[in-house]
C-alpha cells in the first residue's frame, strides 16, 4: 500500500471518531482541473498498471487491471466528465473506490492525472453546485468547496457512474483473472511487434 493510501486509512479512522468536524477530501487533477472526493470514498491509490482494453465498452472505460487476483475496471475520469481522454504520464495514478450495486460491492478504479493532497473542508465552506458556469453535469457535483480564495469541485462518486454504467462495469469485474492475464500478455506481444 502506498504512503498516501496508508494516510487515507488513518484519516478514515480519525474522521469516524470525530463526527461533525470538517470533512476530509482527496484532491487530484484530471483534465487540467482540480477536483476532490470525500476521503471516506477512497479505498486505495495505486500506480498505473498494464490495462487490458475490453471491446464494446463505453469510451470512458479505459480497461481492466488485475489487482491481487481481482479484476478491477478502470474508468478515465476526465473522459467521463466530458473532457479529453487522459494521457498516461509518470504522475498518473488510479484512485480505487467502492461502489454498491444490487446488494454487491464493486471496486472501481478512477484514472486521474495527478493526486495532490488531502484537505479538510468545513461544511460551512461549501456551496451547492451552480446552475451555470460549469461544463460538468450538475448531478456529478456534490458541492463547491472553498479553499482560500478558490473553489474546488467536490465530486459525488455515486453519481459519476449511473446504474447502467455500474452494471456494465460489474460485468467486467466477473472476468476470469487468468483470461485477463493471457489477454494482457497477447496485447503486450502485439505492441512489441508493432514497435519494431
Query: Domain locations in the chain?
Result: 3-195
In this prediction, residue 120 has a pLDDT band, given cuts at 50, 70 and 90, of very high
| pLDDT confidence of residue 17 | 41
Sign of the torsion angle spanned by Cα atoms 51, 54, 59, 60: negative
Q: At which residue does the C-alpha cell 469510451 appear? A: 59
More confident residue, 46 or 83: 46
Q: At which residue does the C-alpha cell 476526465 appear? A: 78
**Mean of pLDDT values over 65-90:** 88
Grid coordinates in use for 7?
Answer: 494516510
Check whether 5 has a pLDDT greater than 80: no
Residue 38's closest CA among 138, 141, 191? 141
Q: Yes or no: is domain 3-195 CATH 2.60.40.1930? A: no
Check whether 139 has a pLDDT greater than 90: no
Please answer whether residues 27 and 118 qualify as being in contact, where contact means their C-beta atoms are separated by less than 8 angstroms: yes
Buried b (16+ CB within 10 A) or exposed e, 135-145: ebeeebbbbbb
Bridge partners of residue 37, in order along the sequence: 26
Reported as half-sphere exposure (CB side, CA atoms, 13 A), residue 23 has a value of 18
Check whether 84 has a pLDDT greater than 50: yes
Residue 85's closest CA among 51, 53, 62, 110? 62
Q: How many CB atoms neighbour CB 103 within 10 A?
A: 5
Q: How many CB atoms neighbour CB 113 within 10 A?
A: 19
Lowest model confidence (mean pLDDT) among 19-23, 46-50, 65-69, 71-75: 19-23
Residue 92's closest CA among 106, 82, 78, 108? 78
- Counting runs of H as helices and runs of E as strands, what totals does the chain give? 5, 11
Q: How many CB atoms neighbour CB 49 within 10 A?
A: 15
Check whether 3 has a pLDDT greater than 50: no
| pLDDT confidence of residue 101 | 65
| pLDDT confidence of residue 94 | 96
**Mean of pLDDT values over 144-163:** 83
Amino acid at each position: 500500500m502506498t504512503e498516501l493510501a496508508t494516510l487515507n486509512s488513518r484519516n478514515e479512522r480519525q474522521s469516524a471518531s470525530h463526527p461533525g468536524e470538517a470533512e476530509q477530501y482527496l484532491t487530484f487533477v484530471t483534465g487540467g482541473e482540480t477536483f476532490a472526493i470525500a476521503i471516506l470514498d477512497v479505498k486505495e491509490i495505486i500506480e498505473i498498471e498494464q490495462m487490458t482494453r475490453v471491446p464494446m465498452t463505453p469510451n470512458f472505460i479505459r480497461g481492466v487491471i488485475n489487482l491481487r487476483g481481482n479484476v478491477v475496471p478502470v474508468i478515465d475520469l476526465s473522459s467521463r466528465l466530458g473532457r479529453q481522454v487522459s494521457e498516461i504520464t509518470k504522475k498518473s495514478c488510479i484512485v480505487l473506490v467502492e461502489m454498491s450495486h444490487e446488494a454487491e460491492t464493486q471496486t472501481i478504479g478512477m484514472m486521474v492525472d495527478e493526486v495532490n493532497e488531502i484537505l479538510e473542508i468545513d461544511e460551512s465552506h461549501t456551496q451547492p453546485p451552480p446552475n451555470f458556469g460549469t461544463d460538468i453535469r450538475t448531478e456529478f457535483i456534490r458541492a463547491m468547496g472553498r479553499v482560500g480564495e478558490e473553489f474546488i469541485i467536490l465530486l459525488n462518486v455515486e453519481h459519476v457512474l449511473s446504474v447502467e454504467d455500474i452494471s456494465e462495469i460489474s460485468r467486467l469485474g466477473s472476468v476470469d483473472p487468468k483470461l485477463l492475464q493471457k489477454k494482457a500478455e497477447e496485447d503486450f506481444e502485439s505492441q512489441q511487434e508493432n514497435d519494431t
